[in-house]
Amino acid sequence: MQITRRKDGIETRNRILDVSCKLFAKNGFRNTIHEEICRLANVNTGSINYHFQSKENLYIESWRMAFQQSTSKHPIDGGIAPDAPVEKRLHGRILSLMHRISDPENMEFEIVYKEMANPTGLLEEVIREAMEPIKKDMQSLVRELLGDKAAEMDIQLCEMSIVGQCFNPVVMEKHREKYHKPAAIPPFPLDIDIETMADHVFRFSMAGIHEICCRIDGGMNGQATCSSV
């Protein structure tokens, strides 16, 4: 009997989280109603407090679950072996990130967009906890490509540029289609798939990294000839 109750409790908790993820992604924290969560999850109104203590904790756990589901479906390393050449590892991470962003079933970023539009501050810690290792791993790849002489600022700027290229076109097109506002957000000018776009981001980023390598090898005047990245 105790095992049955425990199993029922886990199922109830997961059902609440599943519904909450969708509602928080659709409506944001403030416009998601406690009673609607319980109704759609088919649980009594005391279930949220019983399993999560508060709506605030439920919000945090909903994003955490969305992130775990997202990275399970689209592994952060893109399925590339850790001993693969650094170029392949970078390409794998770019492709994985762009698949995560573009996935219509992904609630991870949708919740974040709503949080950015109407901040509560509740997700800051959990997002930092989840994203910091990913950011450091990307910076580690850039450091490997740039070499030991690279300044920390160059490494951070390269990482920021790569991630920005992944987000901007995919997010714009995704939201244009979602909200049907072609006048406000013009369509992406090229009919290309995620793999093609990711390949471009990779090649464009490698060209930029190559240029920085040249500057590092040749000093600030950039006169020396440098080897290909």
44 inside domain? yes
Which two structure tokens, joined as six digits, stand for 26? 């659709």
Least confident of 79-83, 85-89, 212-216, 222-226: 222-226
Domain tally, the chain: 1
C-alpha to C-alpha distance for 62 and 88, rounded to whole angstroms = 33
* CATH code of the domain containing 206: 1.10.357.10
Q: What is the pLDDT of residue 79?
A: 96
C-alpha to C-alpha distance for 68 and 80, rounded to whole angstroms = 19
135 inside domain? yes
pLDDT digits (tens, 9 = 90+) for 23-59: 999 999 999 999 999 999 999 988 999 999 999 999 9
122 inside domain? yes
Q: What is the pLDDT of residue 220?
A: 41
User: What residue numbers bound the domain in which 173 lies?
Assistant: 2-218
226 inside domain? no
C-alpha to C-alpha distance for 25 and 54, rounded to whole angstroms = 18
Question: In degrees, to the nearest 5, what angle opens at C-alpha 39 toward C-alphas 36 and 40?
Answer: 85
pTM attached to this predicted model: 0.84
Neighbours of 20 (CB within 10 A): 27
Characterise 110 by phi-psi region: left (phi > 0), alpha (psi -120 to 50), beta (else). Answer: alpha
Residue 101 pLDDT > 50: yes
Q: What is the mean pLDDT of the chain?
A: 87
Q: Residue 92, CB half-sphere, CA atoms under 13 Å: how many? A: 18
132 inside domain? yes
150 inside domain? yes
HEC readout, 130-143: HHHHHHHHHHHHHH
Residue 207 pLDDT > 60: yes
228 inside domain? no
182 inside domain? yes
